Amino acid sequence: MDNRLLEIVACPLCQGRLKYNKENQQLICTYDKVAYPISQGIPVLLADEAIAVNETEKES
């Protein structure tokens, strides 16, 4: 994941910053406690595609 992309993408729910989880290929919003999948290198930033995450997954 390109760091420049991480600087400009935002959570579609709260407009907050997202953190990249390389192991699970997800972008995580720690405020809303959801993750957005990355499919074939492209972040799927759709609220309907958000996956709930627990506390241990957020820290990865």
The pLDDT value recorded for residue 57 is: 55
Give the per-residue pLDDT at 5.
87
Q: How confident is the prediction along the chain (60 residues), in pLDDT tens digits per residue?
A: 788 888 999 999 999 999 999 999 999 999 999 999 999 989 999 999 999 998 545 455
Please say whether the dihedral angle defined by the alpha carbons of residues 51, 24, 12 and 55, taken in this order, is positive or negative.
positive
Answer yes or no: pTM beyond 0.85. Answer: no
Give the domains, in start order, of the chain with CATH numbers. Answer: 3-59 (2.20.25.10)
Dist CA 48 CA 10 (whole Å): 15
If one counts every other C-beta atom within 10 angstroms of the C-beta of residue 11, the result is 20
